[in-house]
A and B are shown apart, each in its own frame.
Chain A
């Protein structure tokens, strides 16, 4: 096969996927970028380019606050998920006998496969007034009145952490089992106790797994609409909820597009900040 014909054929194989991605992903992104510099005035679309939507984003506390809420919730969720998942991944990798590890891991992530909408609804069953948690607390005499955590930031965080603990347990576990046991032996032979071994040897070596998981958590969490809408309600809006309000209630696509651009910019910034830990070929 000549080099030219190989190139042409290769291009032919890639063309359909490329065409699909360009037509239904890149083009819509470009349309959205264009929309973000247009305005909706009354029911009309004004196609005079201006930065009015971005100015509104900076000036109206309503928009800026939803971004801040999103950042706060996302950072809290990411930190909590890493802190909860790491010990679990460690126990799975170190304490569970090897022949049971697969089963233990499959079990640990089984609820991952529940429908996303249903998973948030399930937490509502636990956290709502009269739900399991409320009944348990009043039954044990720990609370006099029925308690409700639904429609609060706490509920959103719990729902998110539940999802991401499973994800992070997977990525951190995958990293831990790749570590050669000789490293730890070497550290111990050189006189390091378990804590120093962990801090100076294991933790730095598992940092890539942690960072990949944390980055995934951040990206998926800050862009999610379902969990905050079902569990957090409308008391305090996160950025995706504000975007959806612009689309559904107000049909203001230009403003929604500008907010979406802000969301993409935040994710890109975070990616650039973590890029040196995210060797993507290893994912």
Chain B
């Protein structure tokens, strides 16, 4: 292959640099001005100061919503994982009539926007007289995360694992033993990945949480209500904090799931 000309190379690197700049600009601005001293997160920068982080940790509503978010994300991700795993196992390992149709129904929520899912739930809960709460938020988050967990796990249940499961069965293991002692350990990177993806999606989700919650809210909803007061360094602090947690989760996922594949 020909070597690219120096001019083309220069152009390519300049372009990449420009796009990385565009991608990182808002995040850098967010984090920088979370350390602002004065009351407006706009230039000139007069920090560094930790006062807005202190304000954030002292804000009781904020901390409550943080706890709510963790709770809902953990619950919704767990339920999605278990239901998605069972469904993937059932469809991959047993002959079920109408398999294609079932797959279609189980993954259908991925193609519908959150706004529509949220609205449908809101109207249905209203009609049934179900009060909006963290429970209803969790139900909605399972709706969006279940298809994700199902799709990931289903794609990972190849024939190789089926043979090992069959061997276990031939050696006298019951269905529950096969599931817990063979399938789960074989699939655990995929299980871990789906749980964490579901967790981050739920942790970050706004619309469903906004429309199906009432008094107890999750963190994105609390941040949303802070936005009404305009630009505020405390919002920067919360945003940076949330970003830090998400990045930590992603790096953890990367290390655990992909780290094993490297030498």
Picked from B29, B108, B143, the residue with its CB within 8 Å of the CB of A122 is B29
> Which residue from A24, A35, A114, A225 sits with its C-beta under 8 Å from B27?
A114
> Among the interface residues B33, B42, B95, B242, which one has the most CB atoms of the partner chain A within 10 A?
B42
Q: Which of B221-251 contact A (CB under 8 A)?
A: 223-224, 227, 231, 235-236, 238-239, 242-243, 246-247, 249-250
Stretch from A8-16, A49-57, A201-209 that touches the partner: A8-16
- Nearest CB on A from B157, distance (A): 12
- Which residue of B1, B97, B121, B142 contacts A20 across the interface (Cβ within 8 Å)? B142
A247–B119 Cα gap in the complex (Å)? Answer: 8
A272 within 8 A of B: no
Chain B residue numbers with a CB within 8 Å of A192 are none
Report Cα–Cα, A84/B19, bound state, in Å.
Answer: 8
B56 lies within 8 A of chain A by Cβ: no
Interface 9-residue window, one of B8-16, B47-55, B57-65, B185-193: B8-16
- The verdict on A260 contacting chain B, using a C-beta distance below 8 Å, is yes
How many residues of chain B have a CB within 8 Å of chain A?
Answer: 86
Tell whether, in the assembled complex, residue B239 and residue A122 are in contact, meaning their CB atoms are under 8 Å apart. Answer: yes
Residues of B contacting A: mostly: helix
CA of A110 to CA of B83, assembled, Å: 29
Q: How many interface residues does chain A have, given as a range? A: 35 or more
- B207 in the interface, Cβ–Cβ < 8 Å? yes
Once the chains bind, are B108 and A21 in contact (CB under 8 Å)? yes
Segment 1-53 of A: residues with Cβ below 8 Å from B: 3, 6-7, 9-14, 16-18, 20-22, 24-29, 31-32, 35
What 0/1 pattern do residues 65 to 102 of B give for CB contact below 8 A with A?
A: 00000000000000000011011011101111100001
A7 CB → nearest B CB, Å: 6
Closest to B93 in A: A10
Residues of A within 8 A of B (CB): 3, 6-7, 9-14, 16-18, 20-22, 24-29, 31-32, 35, 84, 87-88, 91-92, 95, 106-108, 110-111, 113-119, 121-126, 128, 130-132, 135, 162, 165-166, 181, 184-185, 188, 219-220, 222-226, 230, 240, 243-244, 247, 253, 256-257, 260, 263-264, 267, 271
Q: Closest 6 CB pairs between A and B?
A: A10-B94, A223-B113, A13-B90, A28-B120, A122-B26, A118-B239
